[in-house]
Amino acid sequence: MLENYRPHWMNDELDAVRDLARRFVAGQVTPHQERWYEAGATDRAPWKAAGAVGLLCPDISAEYGGGGGTFAHVALLAHELCVAGDASWRPGQQIHLIAAHYIERYGTEAQKRRWLPGLCSGELIGAMGMTEAGGGTDLQSMRTRAAMTAVGYTIDGAKTFITNGSIADLLILAAKTDPSERAKGVSLFIVETKTPGFRVGRRLRKIGLHGSDTCELFFDACEVPPDALLGGVEGQGFYQMMRDLVYERALAGVNCAAVMQHAFEVTRDYVRDRKIFGKTLHDLQHPRFEIAEVKTLATIARVFTDFTVERMLDGTMTASLASMSKWWISEQQFSVVNRCLQLFGGHGYMLEYPIARMFVDARIEPIYAGSNEILKELIGRSE
């Protein structure tokens, strides 16, 4: 897209990681996309394959079985998945990685040693249990309860819109340990999905991301031991979630910028080949102008993304900058994909064309990881 462009944060070691990620995606992801799309979920093969080469949890410490890398390693894998058109395994892999991050950042040493090796190898699949049907972004008002007992906690409640919900082995679950408090009443738990009282509800039908499973989850007198409490201290969950959303939002910006690049490339190729009125679309001024504008927007998004990667690497990323990256790039992604689809005409409405799937997949980006309206409010308050 940008001729001879190389981000400042790249180096020879990261070049090798990018090449490894590219080979992994070509061999372990791309050939299976259609099958996952039809099945509504991935199988376990890519998780274990990624774990075997250190890509599943690339920035988790090697001490616990991870790749021992940085956010740059995560961004490279995300980019390669997006420009290859994957919207099946990528959402689940990133949620899995975020779950692992919660354990590494906030867990006790015993929790880290118990759970992280399996998450890093792909023997275990992780998920995040936060959103509720009546709450959405308002995590302080969640209704799932965790009541202390003589032998641990009893959890009752329900979650929805849970990525990896039907295939996960463990959840980072948010629940109220003190219903009289809002933020201070929220705690996080590591819950195995084989725990009695846990059940998976229906797999939800979405307008996009058809290859990534999204489910309802239910907890009916689900009993967990005391050491299921993440970090061993009640009342820290809301603050842990707020801190980790910076990482999630920065990653969302990386995804959206890469999808914009992919949309530009497939559309550029299409208008060069598509004949109409004896000419290619590229011979006509309006399609050329559209391609010019799309390329410009995609380039700006990529440069903005690389700036946020640098801030993640040097430790200067802020909640405000992560929110700006996520909301602006996700809005631009949806606009760019829509404009690209228009150039495909009727073909763009057919799901056999990548641009059609990008269009329906893009609609979720302004919603998850914090709706863009909420993010603008957070940015405005920070000024």
Phi/psi of residue 192, each to 5°? -75, 140
Q: What angle do CA 179, 184, 189 make, to 5 degrees?
A: 80
Coil/strand/helix, residue 225: coil
Asked if 155 and 189 touch (Cβ cutoff 8 Å), the reply is: yes
Q: Is 3 a catalytic residue?
A: no
CA–CA distance, 242 with 253 (Å, rounded to integer) = 17
**Strand ranges inside 168-323, DSSP E:** 170-176, 186-192, 198-203, 214-224, 275-276, 279-280
Of 132, 216, 248, 365, which is the active-site residue? 248
Q: Read off the amino acid at residue 182.
A: R
**Helix H segments across 164-280?**
237-273
Q: Cβ(73)–Cβ(9) under 8 Å? A: no
Instruction: Name residue 276's beta-bridge partners.
Output: 279
Neighbours of 23 (CB within 10 A): 12
The two tokens of residue 97 are: 């990685």
In this structure, are residues 160 and 132 in contact, taking their beta carbons and an 8 Å threshold? Answer: yes
Residues marked as catalytic: 248
